[in-house]
Structure formats: C-alpha cells, structure tokens
Structure 1
Amino acid sequence: MPLSEHEQRLLEQMERALSADDPKFANAMRGSRHGRAARRRLVIGIAAVVAGLVLLVVGASTSRIWLGAGGFIVMLAGAIWAFSPARGAGPRAEGQPAATTSRPARAGRTRRNGSFMERMEQRWDRRRGGQW
C-alpha cells in the first residue's frame, strides 16, 4: 500500500530533520556504495575462507603439509579481507573533516571528580558539544 501525499511529506520532513540533526547517522542509514562494497568484500572473503578450509582438509587427508599450510593462509587472508574496511572508506561522511584522535590535556584533574553519574553527565555534555 503506497503512502499518501501527506505521509510522504511528513517522511521527507523527518528525513531532512534527521540529516540536519545527525548527518553522520543519516549518511550511514542511506546505504551508499560503501554498503554494497562491504557486502561484496564479505562474500569474497567468506568464499576464500571456504576454499582455504577445503585446501586444509585435503592437505591434512593426503599428508601434504604444504597444501594444508596454504589452505590455512588462504583462510586467514579471506577472513582479514572480509572484515577489513575498503581502502579510502573511512568512517567519516563525505564532506566532513576527519576527526582528530588527540585528547585534551587533563592537567590538574583528580581521579574522583564527583559521583559516577555526574561524571557520565559531564562526558555526555562534552560529546554533545554543550548543546543543552
């Protein structure tokens, strides 16, 4: 059943609001080309793991150590290939600057800076950029 015009307009407004509020999340939910590339890498990697497993079993059953070792290497390479990100496909959205990994200095801070919940609220406020 298709959506009515009113429902479509509401959905488009919600999408725009989400994109404005959290562009990183909205970009991840769109399912861009990176999603297809990741699925393709996963399928190729799983196929390599299965092929390596077959080589490993054949090598073990025929007492050919080099074939078993090769099968293990193919399995390992397939697993690494399947679960590693593609080159150039970083976690940042297109058009956004890269995030820095440096942390602010903590000079003069004590280990206990209030209750656990207060520290969690302070961390949440820092992550949200002090919007509230």
Structure 2
Amino acid sequence: MPLSEQEQRLLDEMERNLYKHEADIVSTSSGPRTVNYTRVALGIALVAAGLAVVVIGVVVQFALIGVAGFGLAVGGAMLALTASRPAEAGEAESGDAPKGGAAPKARTRSSLMDRLSDEWDKRQQQ
C-alpha cells in the first residue's frame, strides 16, 4: 500500500531532521573514553552502604534512616555511572607499542553511524 502525499511529506521531513541533527548526536557519543576505576569502586561501595542503611532503617522502623540510605545509594550509582570521560590524545593510545619504539598504527575502522549512512546512501542510489 503506497503512502499518501501527506505521509510522504512527513517522512521526508523526518529524514531531513534526522540528517540535520545526526552530527550533533554522533559527536557527543563517539570517540575513545577513559574510565576512572577509583570512582567506580567508590560508587559501588556507596551503593552497598546505602542499601545497608536502607535495611537498617527498615529494621529500626525509622523512615528517615531509610530515605538517607536511598539517597546514599543513588549518589553512589551516579558517581559510578559518571566515572568515564572522553580520552585525551595521549590517553587514547594503548601502551602496547611494539618493540623497537615504533608507534602503534592508527585504526582506520569506520564508526557504526558512518557504515549505516553509507548503506543508506547506496540504497537511495539504487
């Protein structure tokens, strides 16, 4: 069943908006990242401590202790989940340099969005 004229216009507009905002989406989520494992470990410890405080609050039947424990657990989860940041140029390279002091080769793999975009363009051309 073919699309009506209005549905086709709406689809075209959605595609234009997708292409327009695609660069913003890809630039914010791509690239190598580094993880601060100390923050992850501290966050996990805070989540565990927060859950223990929640249990203590339930046992002594004092709601304020349970709420404080929940807040501690949420804070720990946020700390652990925000422990990664974009890598800087020197941090992105691994320390696996070959013997002899040669620098590692740069990766030439294209990103998922680039490959999907190429496939989309090929389909549109056919």
TM category (shorter chain) comes to 0.3 to 0.5
Considering fraction of residues, name the structure with more strand.
2
Q: TM-score, normalised by structure 2?
A: 0.44
